[in-house]
Amino acid sequence: IYLYGEIHGIAAIEEYEAERWKECYERGMRHLFVELSHYTAQWLNLWMDAEDDEILEQLHQDWESTLSSGAETLDFYRTIKEQCPETVFHGTDVGHTWERTGPRYLAYLEANGQKDSEEYRRAQENMEQGKRYYEIEATDEASSVRYREDRMVENFRRSYQELEAVRRTDIMGIYGSAH
């Protein structure tokens, strides 16, 4: 497990991370854990197979007014798609965009006959984590930070254990240095 801490939205840092991922990718890694919600990472996985950037552009709109809203973030993901096309993203954060990205992902799953799936339930759970985080943050910022960190660890472990259940898997993760 290779974990990198960062400051979000800084071009030089995102270029460095892309280079580190490319090195890991060249050694055979395919699973990149990121500080995004589960459903956002799933959208990125769909975008990796898409012929255009419509999904990425929609996510970028969802990230408006966040540290991920800059052009350097788009450049980072486009570099990954171009240079490491078999990358599989795993989002382990709470569902920050539960009111935008989450419902769109649920609608996608419904349209593809997956409303009763584990994936649908997981996306709903991740959305609830995001809602809960912001509810707590409104009255007690310190408690919201603890809540988020605990969920991120749980989500990370869950995703990693799912990979390990299939076969031993080396991974890289990129998280804000505060985490």
pLDDT value at residue 63:
84
Say how many C-beta atoms besides its own lie within 10 A of residue 1's C-beta: 10
**CA distance readout (Å), 107 to 36, 52, 114, 162:** 19, 20, 10, 24
Axis crossing angle, helix 118-137 with helix 38-49, rounded to the nearest 10 = 130
Rounded average pLDDT over 42-68: 90
Whether this model's pTM surpasses 0.85: yes
107: pLDDT confidence band, cut at 50, 70 and 90? Answer: very high
pLDDT value at residue 47:
98
Give per-residue pLDDT as tens, 11-23: 899 899 999 999 9
> Helix or strand or coil: residue 97?
coil
Residue 176 has pLDDT above 90, yes or no: no
Please name the residues in contact with 5: beta carbons below 8 A apart, sequence gap of 6 or more. Answer: 175, 176, 177, 178, 179
pLDDT value at residue 68:
64
- In angstroms, rounded to a whole number, what is the distance separating the alpha carbons of residues 104 and 18? 28
Give per-residue pLDDT as tens, 122-160: 999 999 999 999 999 999 999 999 999 999 999 999 999
Q: Which residue has the higher pLDDT, 9 or 99?
A: 99
CB 98, CB 127: distance < 8 Å: yes
72: pLDDT confidence band, cut at 50, 70 and 90? Answer: confident
Q: Which residue has the higher pLDDT, 174 or 176?
A: 174
Residue 64 has pLDDT above 90, yes or no: no
Q: Which of 3-7, 118-122, 175-179 has the lowest mean pLDDT?
A: 175-179
Residue 69 has pLDDT above 70, yes or no: no
pLDDT value at residue 15:
93
pLDDT value at residue 10:
83
Q: Which amino acid is at 12?
A: A
113: pLDDT confidence band, cut at 50, 70 and 90? Answer: very high
Residue 67 has pLDDT above 90, yes or no: no
